[in-house]
Each structure stands twice: as C-alpha cells, then as structure tokens.
Structure 1
C-alpha cells in the first residue's frame, strides 16, 4: 500500500512538472507583412539563412531572449493581418499599432504593451536647396504620397487649403526615387521611413531637407499589440522584458540601426 501511494505521488509530481514546463514554454506568433511596413518589419525571403528583422522584430526578439517564450512568425499581406485577427485565426498573436489610428475592432481584441516602442512623426522630405524651406513653401506644389494609404483626418482639408497636388507612388522606395527624379516636390512619410529609405538607397541624408509636419498630422506612439487571450503571465513577461530593454537603452540602439 505504501509503495503504491509513493508511486502515485511521484506520478502526480511528474505530471505537475511536465505541465509547469509546458506552461512556461509559451509560444507567441508575430504577424508580419512583407515590404509595406519597413523598417518596422523587414521580412526575409529566406528566414533560415537571413532572419526576419526590422525595428519591431528586433526589439521583440531581444526582449524575449531573456524569457522562455518562443517566437514564431506568420507572414501575410498587410490588410490580411487585420482580417486574420478579426477571424481569430491565430493563438497568442502579436501585432502592432497606435491608439491614434488602429482599427477599433482589432484594438478590442488586443492589448497594448505598457512600453511604447517608438514615437513616429511625419515629415515632408525635399531635395536640398540653397534656402531652407518651410511648410509654407509646400503651397501649390506636388506632394508624393503612398497609393492606398489612409492619412489622418484633416490631411485632405490641408491639401485643399494649400492647393497641393498629390502624386501617388506604389511604395516608399518608389516615392523616394520619384522625388529624386523631380516627379514631385515633396515626399510625405514618417521620419523613420524616410531615413530608412535614404539609408537603403545609400544616399546621404544631408542631400535632403526634412520639414516637420506635426502640426497637420500629430505624432503618435507605436506599441506592440498582444492577443487579449494570451495568458496573463506571458503578457506580463513581455511587458517586463520590454521595460528592461528601455531602461538599458537597448530600444534606442535598435532604432539608430535603422536610421
């Protein structure tokens, strides 16, 4: 009888240990999009040889390196990610967004991390001139924007009030090329995107003027968005890991690598 009880106790402890190990080895899935969201996510064609990168991926990967949480990726077209989240197709998903522009339906299914990753603000990029231009100099000029992108409320009114002609580009890479070719006078994008495209094209940033556009489109904080159904302990670990990165200045170092 004693031996039987002893064996039962060991089996119980073994099951508890296995369950604890399994619970501690959570897996989260970062939903990523190729091309359209660089440098936030830079999707590799061959992740086995060249891992996915980008500001958000690098930050999350480094944060999770201090935990036992496993990171996986699912690649989808940008607009498909929203559909997947709304359809509940992925468990323990991670995406990103800002309270100022994220779809309310997606926001309702996720929870922002406590630590923002970066603040974004829009600029008007133009080729360097003898006289430093101001936002007033955009009046009556051609501004290159990204095709299909929804800009913030108030932007269309500003365009109309300033007699601006909008020129569409299929991507930020094309937009920068069009600006250099003189097919537009200004290129509108977040500061971090402009700097990334300039760096990727191996051009000197000093060849451009960047005019702050914050009085038309306010700056916004960018956060990781965590599945609300993700275990509370996992979300807490991610929050704590991100906070440690910020306190050590590691997030700022990652940002500088993309400028």
Structure 2
C-alpha cells in the first residue's frame, strides 16, 4: 500500500512538472530602443533589467520564447493577440496593452530628465524655458504630458530613431536642442557609447513628466496559474533583494 501511494505521489509530481513546462511564455522585447530595460545584440542574446527579471522568474519552470520587434510593431503584435501567455513591461499611464493587466508589484520607478549640451547656457525652471528649444524625442514613444504642447505649437519636436542620433543633434545644435527621456536610459546610453556626461547637462524634468512605476505587463487572457506564479516569484525576488540586485547591474 505504501509503495502504491509512493508511486502515485511520484506520478502526480511528474504530471504537475509536465503541466508547468508544457506552457510557453512569449516574452516581447523592444528592439534597440529600451535599454537598459531590454538589451538586444546582433548575436540575439538578451539582457537588461526586465529581461533578467524574466529569466529569473521562469528559469526552472517554463520555456521562454523571445519575440523582438521595433516598438510600434511589437504593440501591433500584442494587440493582434497571436500568441498567448505573453509578457513584456508597461505602466498604468501608458494605456493600451501595456497597461491592461499588470503585475501585482512594480519592478522599477522611472524619472525623466532633459539633456542638453554643456556648451549651452540652458537652465530648466519651467515651461517657458523650453518654448524656444527643439525637443528631441524617440520615434514610437508617446509623451502624454508633452503632446498637447507639441500639438499647439508651443514646443517644436524632432523625432530620432535612437540615442546616438539624439546625442549627435545635441552636439551639432547645442544652443537650440534638448533631449527628453528617461534618466536611466540617458545615463546608460551615454555610458555604452563612451560619451562623457561632463559634456552634457542633465536636469530633472519631473515637474512636467512626474516619476511613475513600471511593472511587468501580462497578457489579459493569461492562464491564472501562470499569472499567480509570476506574481509570487516577483514578490519573492523583491523580499530577497534580488530585484534590487538586478537593477543595480545596469543603473
């Protein structure tokens, strides 16, 4: 009888393990614009704050399938719902699929800064200080607090495809341009491009774009057991300090 019970328990564990591993997690990555949250290379290796969190969560339990697209294409793919049990990152204020179903706890709090050339005498105090500046912004990303000012013509925008282009514009137009982006992204991209922060001025822009938390964004139709698993693992990572450790690898 004891042998029978032992066999049945073993079979149950195997079935449970098989069930856990039978589902794939579809992880969506923004190509070349989301560093240090998602870092992609030509060798298709993935790293970054969000990618390392995903690897840690699903290390022993699920197969992770990576889907890498430019930002707008990624959003279109998520909205189309071609893959189930997908995960990426998002925030309540972003709206759409990146806000529809978020993890229980945030993974990071982002702030925005305005970057100018050190050759510029620009000091940001309030909105009127940027009226005569050309604001450099990244393609594909929305800036809800800035958009009404852009639409009204109070602020001129210049969209660029990546950080290297943004930094080049600041170098070429030091008195006329300013780059608005997440502080963490600015610092990380200056670092990996071997640019000296002393050649630029980084000023807080939270008065116009307040700091806000980002979360893991989950498929609204995600399997409930998988969603529960993600939230539990994320909570454990927060309590153990491993979440902070991952963040400090990049920022």
Range into which the TM-score falls when normalised by the shorter chain: 0.7 to 0.9
Change (3 A) 1:138 1:15: same
Alignment of 1:64-103 (within 5 A): 64-65=58-59, 67-103=60-96
CA drift at 1:52:
0.7
Match of 2:225 in 1: 233
Gaps of 5+ in 1: 1-6
Match of 1:20 in 2: 16
Equivalent of 1:175, from 151, 166, 172? 166
Gaps of 5+ in 2: none
Alignment of 1:1-259 (within 5 A): 16=12, 18-25=14-21, 26-47=23-44, 51-65=45-59, 67-103=60-96, 107-108=99-100, 111-128=101-118, 133-136=123-126, 137-157=129-149, 163-182=154-173, 184-259=176-251
User: Is contact 2:169–2:177 with CA below 8 Å preserved after alignment?
Assistant: no
CA drift at 1:124:
0.5
CA drift at 1:15:
6.7
Which of the two has higher C-alpha Rg? 1
TM-score by length of 2: 0.82
Count of residues paired in the alignment: 245
Task: Classify the secondary structure of the residue corresponding to 1:251.
Answer: helix
Task: Classify the secondary structure of the residue corresponding to 1:28.
Answer: strand
Q: Calculate the aligned-residue CA RMSD, in Å.
A: 3.0
TM-score by length of 1: 0.80
Q: Which moved more, 1:193-202 or 1:231-240?
A: 231-240
